[in-house]
Amino acid sequence: MHDSDLDIHNIDPSLYNEDLAPLKPQDRNWGAFEIFNVWSNDIQSLFGYTLAASLFLSYGLNGWAVMAAIILAGVIVMFLVNLTGKPSVKYGIPFPVMVRASMGVRGANLPAMLRAIVGIFWYGVQTYFASTAVTLLITALFGGGDGTTFLGLSGVAWLSFVIVWVFQIAIFWQGIERIKHFLNWAGPLVYAVMLVLMGVVWWQAGSELIPAIGTIFSGDGERSGSAIAAFMAIVGTMVAYFAAVVINFGDFTRFVKTERQMKLGNLLGLPLNVAFFSFIALIITAGTLVLFGDALTNPSDIVERVDSLPLTIIAALTFFAATVGINLVANFIPPAYDLANLFPSRISFKMGGLITAVIAFFVGALWISVISQIGVPGFVNALGAVVAPFYGIIVVDYYLIKRQHLDMQDLFSSDPAGAYYYVNGWNTRALIAFGCAAVFSLSTVLVPALASLGGYGWLLGAGLGGLFYYGLMHRQRTPVTAVG
């Protein structure tokens, strides 16, 4: 029997459906290129670009230091996802099944549902950002309407939002293979368009571009606290941006052929990709300062100001593709699995995705009028802090407690004698570890007295979750034998 084989006759139907079952090695066809494109679409989304560009302007820090902080965040995330991705490469299981080993076969629903809430939230936000590219396209071709708005969105913006929402459901409904193909052309295409946009801005800015870069790199902006604190806050914010994907990376690596392919994809897609993309963002931001007198951070605004219809059409379609691509992978697939894990016999992967889309519609619709008022970095940090402790719990459990061996049969069993049944299917020690760590990590975002720790919420939460879990569990450790 292979690691990914199950005795179907001895499983609990309330814990199993075909979408959650271990994926056999012969059914996996993702390689380094696919993993690279997961990350390239992630950072290249409109939200990702806006965040990266705003970091150059928000902290009053020397631009080269901001670049270094962003690259360091890429290295950290690469290390983190290599750890969470490995068990799913080995066993072919998605995140909500893998987390049963630490939280219990029923307790796994807690991290799965919290992760689903974060995913649904991001899904709505990214759907709005993708729709801005469509709005740009429609406005360029047909005009912007009469200017009346509802909840901060014009008629054209509402039409664009609905178009993107329906389009994403249509792609998702055709399965993981269609999503993979979509990503594989969207990622490289966005790079090509970004390079063209950088070239156009550079050509129009001319000899004034280099001095403008010097202005951004001078680090003369207002800053509270030390340069080191600002540097670390940028690192923490960028790590938090990737946080949701970091925790459930197994949802993607279950499709990867080998661990080596996963690691290569992470290397190319994170530190190297983030460095190159941030450099492009910096050049374009400096160029907008020269051309328009303002440092623009939203690519849609930049393309609109450049006033070239061919560039507008190409850029709008490309940013739409990139943002939709990462939205499907990072924010649609995980909640679909997580909701399927809640009631496997009733909710399929596709039904979970449909539920996700319906709820996310309202999140995206309220982004301008309500949610965006929170502020982007604070929003990223608060969402990331809630789920952060689960990262530490999962990693410590798999590598230190279970010693990289899971019993596949017991992951789908509610037998009280099963390895992951714990107390009525819940690991109470893991719950305590999560609760203590989550209170602290969330406090770094919400409590003014802890504001100096802002940006570190995710890293602190993950570290504390793992530390508390190990302290509570290491004396209870019992050897678990791998199947196979």
What pLDDT does 463 receive?
A: 94
d(CA 178, CA 140): 29
The predicted pLDDT at position 384 comes to: 67
- 1 band by pLDDT with thresholds 50, 70 and 90: very low
Predicted confidence at residue 2, as pLDDT, reads 44
Residue 6 phi/psi, 5-degree rounding, is -130, 150
Q: For residue 234, what are its two tokens? A: 């940028």
> In 293-414, where does DSSP find H-type helix?
299-306, 309-326, 333-342, 349-365, 376-396, 408-411
CA 301 to chain centre: 24
Q: What pTM did the predictor assign?
A: 0.85
477 has a pLDDT exceeding 60: no
pLDDT classification of 475: cutoffs 50, 70, 90: low
Alpha helices (H) along 22-108: 32-44, 46-58, 63-91, 95-98, 100-103
- 76 pLDDT band, cuts 50/70/90, is very high
The Cα 187–Cα 39 span in angstroms is 9
* Structure confidence at residue 189 (pLDDT): 82
Split at pLDDT 50, 70, 90, the class of 387 is confident
Q: What angle do CA 319, 190, 170 make, to 5 degrees?
A: 55
pLDDT for the residue 379: 64
Q: What is the predicted pLDDT for the residue at 328?
A: 81
Give 423's DSSP letter. Answer: B
Q: How confident is the model at residue 268 (pLDDT cuts 50, 70, 90)?
A: very high
Residue range 429-455: mean pLDDT, rounded: 84
Check residue 5 and give its pLDDT: 64
The per-residue pLDDT for range 12-66, each reduced to its tens digit, is 888 998 889 999 999 999 999 999 988 888 887 777 788 888 888 877 777 778 8
Q: How far apart are CA 397 and CA 467, in angstroms?
A: 11
Average pLDDT over residues 288-294: 82
Q: Which two tokens stand for residue 461?
A: 């939460």
Percentage of the chain lying above the pLDDT 70 cut: 90
| Each residue's pLDDT tens digit, 188-244 | 888 888 888 888 888 888 888 878 776 666 655 555 567 888 888 889 888 878 877
pLDDT of residue 378: 63
Q: Is the pLDDT of residue 353 over 80?
A: yes
Joined together, the tokens standing for residue 341 give 């894990």
**pLDDT reading at 291 higher than 50:** yes
In this structure, are residues 284 and 305 in contact, taking their beta carbons and an 8 Å threshold? no
**Torsion angles phi and psi, residue 372, rounded to 5:** -65, -15
CB burial of 132-148 (b: ≥16 within 10 Å; e: otherwise) equals bbbbbbbbbeeeeeeee
What letter does residue 150 receive in the DSSP assignment? E
Cα–Cα distance, 316 to 137 (Å, whole number):
6
Q: What superfamily would CATH give domain 15-388?
A: Hydantoin permease (1.10.4160.10)
Among residues 252, 275, 277, the alpha carbon closest in space to that of 193 is found at 277
Q: What helix, strand, coil percent values describe the chain, rounded to 5? A: 75, 0, 25
User: Is the CB of residue 89 less than 8 Å from the CB of residue 254?
Assistant: yes
**Tell me, what's the pLDDT at 162?**
96
Average pLDDT score over the chain: 84
For the ranges 69-78, 333-342, 358-367, 471-480, the lowest mean pLDDT is seen at: 471-480
Query: What is residue 396's predicted lDDT score, i.e. its pLDDT?
Result: 97
Residue 483 has pLDDT above 80, yes or no: no
Q: How far apart are CA 96 and CA 111, in angstroms?
A: 8
402-423: pLDDT as tens digits: 999 999 999 999 999 999 999 9
Which has the minimum average pLDDT: 15-24, 54-63, 439-448, 471-480? Answer: 471-480
Residues 6+ apart with CB under 8 A from 49: 43, 277, 281, 297, 298, 299
Average pLDDT over residues 72-84: 95
How far apart are the C-alpha atoms of 128 and 299, rounded to whole Å? 14
Give residue 150's identity as a one-letter amino acid code.
F
E strand residue ranges, 152-298 = 153-154
Count, residues in the chain: 484
**Tokens representing 229?**
């604190």
- Summarised one tens digit per residue, pLDDT across range 139-173 is 888 877 777 788 888 889 999 999 999 999 998 88
pLDDT of 3 strictly over 60: no
Q: DSSP string of 307-342?
A: T-HHHHHHHHHHHHHHHHHHIIIIIIHHHHHHHHHH
To 5 degrees, how large is the angle CA 304–CA 307–CA 311?
85
Residue-level pLDDT at 481: 43
Q: Say how many CA atoms lie within 13 Å of 389 toward its Cβ.
A: 25
Long-range contacts (CB closer than 8 Å, 24 or more residues apart) made by 348-355 = 348/17, 348/19, 349/17, 349/19, 350/172, 350/173, 353/169, 353/172, 353/173, 354/169
CA distance 14 to 236: 38
Residue 153's SS3 state is strand
What local confidence, expressed as pLDDT, does residue 140 receive?
82
**Gap between the Cα atoms of 422 and 40, Å rounded:** 40
What pLDDT is attached to residue 479?
Answer: 44
Report the C-alpha gap between 232 and 245 in whole angstroms: 21
Residue 115 near residue 334 (C-beta atoms within 8 A) = yes
